[in-house]
Structure 1
Amino acid sequence: MEAFFLALLTAFIWGFVPFLEKIGLSSVEPTAAYLVRCSGIFLGIGILIAFTPQFPSFAKMGIKSVFFLVLAGMLAGVVAQLVFYKALKTGEISRIIPVTSCYPLFSFLLGWIFLGEEITVSKIAGMLFILGGILLLK
């Protein structure tokens, strides 16, 4: 049950942040806004490092893990965020957020195609629900 509440809290935070970003983007170009937003990330990392003991798992990381995590950070933290800001700056928050939140559809497809993950009735139902929501917003 704890995992569910943590996921729900995450969803709330991820839902609240675009509201703040939309307001922050009102008079700023998306790339400049993104660079300012990154200062919040650096501040958060500084606090995390200050209050977290040593990170022994860093020494255990292989080159493959490092490569894929750095690539994921660049794609999600830079490329997708800049594209998202451009969409959020020009579109309605109530239309942009549901579309950008359909990423589980792509994760499902990639997991099935490349990782051999199982297709279940509940997964298909979830994907159809997501697709239906996107089509309603279009």
Structure 2
Amino acid sequence: MNYLVLLIPVLFSFHQIFVRLGSREAETISGIYVSLLASTIIFIPSVANPTLDGMFLLYMSLAGVLHFFVARICFYHAISRIGANLSAPLSATRVFFAALLGIFVGEYLTLRVVVMSLLIFAGIVLISRPKGKADAFGVTLGILTGLFSALSSYFVKFGNAVDYNPLFAIFLGFALSTILMTPLAVRKDLSHTKFYLAAGVTVGIAHLLRYVVLKDVPVTVVEPITSSYPLFTLLLSAIFLREGEIFTLRSITGTLLILGGIYVYYA
């Protein structure tokens, strides 16, 4: 196995830690813009091998906007409101939404999907009230991150059916999302966004590694390992973000239930 795959969840987790640190120093909108710009720059070399088919551009543009623009706005705001260690497992519900969407497009409801759904739902309930009170909006943003990421995956699937050019597809998504974000950030103060810059670089490298390892490692191996990032986020936030994060038996149990649901699905 290509052991680079083990770096992917760690990088995704560091990305979330950097976002949380950045939210203490800068506006979230400014941070999103800087992180998108950094992620876009990483994939600029892919323009040397573009795919200019109209349907490919349409599908991958929709995928990119949903994942890198809409979902990132939801995720970064969720992290700023409820912290990294609660937002991470909520965003991992993308696996649940992907399975649910699959049923609507003709896939079968299996016992595995039912068990996964029950575990993830129980986890969300616990995370929603980690200390007996809820930030309903923050929790909703975390869950919406999972939903929009899952929707994005279906457009990626449609785009890949036209042509398989993942690096250019990622660049297209990041570049278009950066353009859409520019009017929102043009008058914002972009100073004190160094942690968001680090977040953009880190998550860009994580996406790059994910596509590199998928060339040799089966999706059924890569996805469960990638989806373990909430556990790493929990550990890293305990080390670097002890103050301001929520560590209770409810929140930790909720995280483990959501991860358990994901691994039941991939088992």
Fold shared per TM-score above 0.5: yes
Pair 24,133 (structure 1): closer, same or farther in 2 beyond 3 Å: same
Residue number in structure 2 paired with 1:68: 59
- Following superposition of structure 1 onto structure 2, how do residues 113-124 of structure 1 map, counting pairs within 5 Å? 113-114=104-105, 116-124=106-114
Residue number in structure 2 paired with 1:83: 74
Question: How many equivalent residue pairs?
Answer: 128
TM-score, normalised to structure 1's length?
A: 0.78
Q: Distance in 2 between matches of 1:26 and 1:95?
A: 17
What are the Cα deviations for residues 63-98 of structure 1, in whole angstroms up to 9, with x where unaligned?
Answer: 333212101101111111112111211222221221
Q: Which amino acid letter does the alignment assign opposite residue 20 of structure 1?
A: F
Residue number in structure 2 paired with 1:21: 19
Q: Distance in 2 between matches of 1:124 and 1:87?
A: 27
Instruction: Tell me, yes or no, if the aligned pair for 2:22 and 2:31 is still in contact at 8 Å.
Output: yes
What are the Cα deviations for residues 91-138 of structure 1, in whole angstroms up to 9, with x where unaligned?
Answer: 222212211221111111111102x12322223222222222111111
Residue number in structure 2 paired with 1:38: 36
Residue number in structure 2 paired with 1:55: 49
TM-score, normalised to structure 2's length?
A: 0.43
Structure 1 residue runs of 4 or more that deviate by more than 6 Å after TM superposition: none
Q: Distance in 2 between matches of 1:69 and 1:112?
A: 22
Residue number in structure 1 paired with 2:7: 9
Residue number in structure 2 paired with 1:107: 98
Residue number in structure 2 paired with 1:98: 89
Pair 54,110 (structure 1): closer, same or farther in 2 beyond 3 Å: same
Q: Distance in 1 between matches of 2:47 and 2:104?
A: 39
Structure 2 residue runs of 5 or longer lacking an equivalent are 129-267
Q: Distance in 1 between matches of 2:110 and 2:17?
A: 34
- Aligned-residue sequence identity (percent) comes to 23
Pair 12,124 (structure 1): closer, same or farther in 2 beyond 3 Å: farther
| SS state at 1:117 partner | coil
CA RMSD of aligned residues (A): 2.3
Structure with the larger RCO, 1 or 2 (CA within 8 Å, 6+ apart): 2
Pair 9,120 (structure 1): closer, same or farther in 2 beyond 3 Å: farther
Pair 53,87 (structure 1): closer, same or farther in 2 beyond 3 Å: closer
